[in-house]
Chain A
Amino acid sequence: MDRRNAHPRLLMSSQQQLRVLVDQLQREANIERMNTSEAINQLKRYITEHEAEDYLLVGFSSQKANPFREKSSCTVL
């Protein structure tokens, strides 16, 4: 193992590792959480507000806007 590149966890005792883990978990435990009702409503709102631009949902407004359309041949007049 190249100590210069080793993951720091591998250089700690298991007790030290546990301490790091506990500290991190306590940090994560203390974050502010929103109610799911509020959070899901915001997701819903974002999605419905952007649905008109979602090509996989509504397709292309005109065939001209569709880069995958079959190109029709041109005639020289």
Chain B
Amino acid sequence: MPPKDPEVEKLKKELQDAIAKVQEDQKSKADTDMSGACGDLSEAPKVRAMCKRMCKGHINKVNSVHFSGDSRHLVSGSLDGKLIIWDIFTGNKTQVIPLRSAWVMSVAFSPSGNLVASGGMDNQCTVHDINDRDSTGVAKIAREMLGYEGFLSSMRFLDDDNLITGSGDMKVIHWDVKTGKKVHEYFGHSGDVATMSLSSDHSVFATGSVDRTIKVWDLRDPKTCKQTFWGHTSDVNSVYMHPSNMAIASGSEDKTARLWDLRSDQQVCEYKPPTANSGFTCCGMSKSGRYIICGSDDNTIHMWDSLKGSHAGSLQGHENRITSLAVAESGIAFATSSWDMSVRVWAL
């Protein structure tokens, strides 16, 4: 056996010390837990949301769904190779965009509603301008972003000119949509990036990965990752920035959802359904942050009171795995996509 390299051994020790320091400091700041701090609150009402719209039109699994900033239009991407834009008030399709590759895993709507982005196993991100249509009325491609070594898993627009993507090659990239050039690349994840969520003021964003961590990045200081949250014992499939921008909700393959507080830099709550036998594929929060909502492998949507930690109910309806969940910015509804080929809109 080769002798141990003293340099490497020294580094490994430094690594252990740094990890121990983080854990020590976090512990020293944990002067209360969620149940202690929220003992005075009464429980949030049990969930009363119902399926208000069933958006039928895709003819294969729907992998991703996202709202426009107008809280009225939704884009969905399916393995049938189409993006569909829906008006959730009427439940009607307003546009259908055929994709060059059917392998779409993730979609995003720009806040303005002018652009949609999509990508997946084609290892590229394509942006369509929905107002710029060809002679047959189909939205034209505005930009294609290449250079990935893995599938596109997640993407979010800051605005019509700026898009951030997460991919299976561990990359997180901020693109200038107009020029198609990389603005910055964020390094840190050691596994596929699976999900991302922007803060409402666009100052920070969070990513979740197969490496089991959630990382927080500062858009104004992109050189290094700001914080890393450990705790999930399997892939982090979904993250969602708390509306206050002070915390992050996550859903994981480890069958738990958790709440991570940014300022105390630690997990503050864990959520499990009455029978925890399925991983969570997607998550979101209601407008105030009181409810945390997760879509599951077992076709069910679970909701919890984020402060009391109690299960607030489950929503049935989808007939196959739920793949993605999007919350309207106004908080008026949330939408889910599924392998059952439908998109459902849920509201009170």
Which residues of A come within 8 Å of B, CB atoms? 1-2, 4-9, 14-15, 18-19, 21-22, 24-29, 31, 33-44, 46-51, 53-57, 59-60, 66-68
Of A25, A56, A60, most buried by chain B (CB within 10 Å of CB) is A56
Q: Give the 7 A-B residue pairs with the shortest CB-CB distance, closest first.
A: A50-B288, A54-B288, A46-B244, A25-B18, A34-B263, A68-B52, A56-B286
User: B29 touching A33 by the CB < 8 A rule?
Assistant: yes
How many whole Å from A19's CB to the nearest CB in chain B?
A: 6
Of B37-45, B97-105, B270-278, the segment with at least 4 beta carbons within 8 Å of chain A is B37-45
**Structural contact, A15 and B286, CB atoms closer than 8 A:** no
Contact B347 A50 (CB under 8 A): no
Given B268, B288, B334, which contacts A36 in the complex, CB threshold below 8 Å?
A: B268
B31 touches A68 (CB 8 A): no
On whether the beta carbons of A43 and B224 are closer than 8 Å, the reply is: no
Among residues of A, the one whose C-beta sits closest to the C-beta of B26 is: A33
Docked-complex contact B8 and A28, CB < 8 angstroms: no
Expressed in whole angstroms, the Cα–Cα distance for A40 and B32 within the complex equals 9
Q: Bound state CA distance, A40 and B190, in angstroms?
A: 30
Interface string of B121-161 (1 = CB under 8 A from A): 00000000000000000000000000111000000000000
Q: Give the interface segment out of B106-114, B201-209, B225-233, B316-324.
A: B225-233
- Which listed residue (B22, B45, B89, B289) contacts A67, Cβ 8 A? B89
Contacts of A37 in B (CB 8 A): 31-32, 37
B190 contacts which chain A residues (CB < 8 A)? 9
CB within 8 A of A39: which of B14, B38, B263, B331? B263
C-alpha gap A28/B23 in the complex (Å): 11
In the complex, the answer to whether B5 meets A15 with C-beta atoms within 8 Å is: yes
A43 and B331 within 8 A (CB)? no
Residues of A near B246 (CB, < 8 A) are: 39, 42-43, 46
16 contacts between A and B (CB under 8 A): A9-B190, A15-B8, A18-B8, A22-B11, A22-B14, A24-B225, A28-B18, A33-B266, A36-B33, A36-B37, A39-B263, A40-B32, A47-B307, A54-B331, A66-B348, A68-B345
Asked if B11 contacts A19 (CB within 8 A), the reply is: yes
Which of A43, A67, A68 has the most CB atoms of chain B within a 10 A radius of its CB? Answer: A43
Q: Is B1 an interface residue (CB 8 A)?
A: no
Does A39 contact B307, Cβ atoms closer than 8 Å? no
Q: How far is the CA of A66 from the CA of B330 in the complex (A)?
A: 12
Do B29 and A35 touch (CB < 8 A)? yes
- Give bound CA distance, A34 to B194, whole Å: 29
Query: Which of chain B's residues 277-326 have a Cβ closer than 8 Å to chain A?
Result: 286-291, 306-307
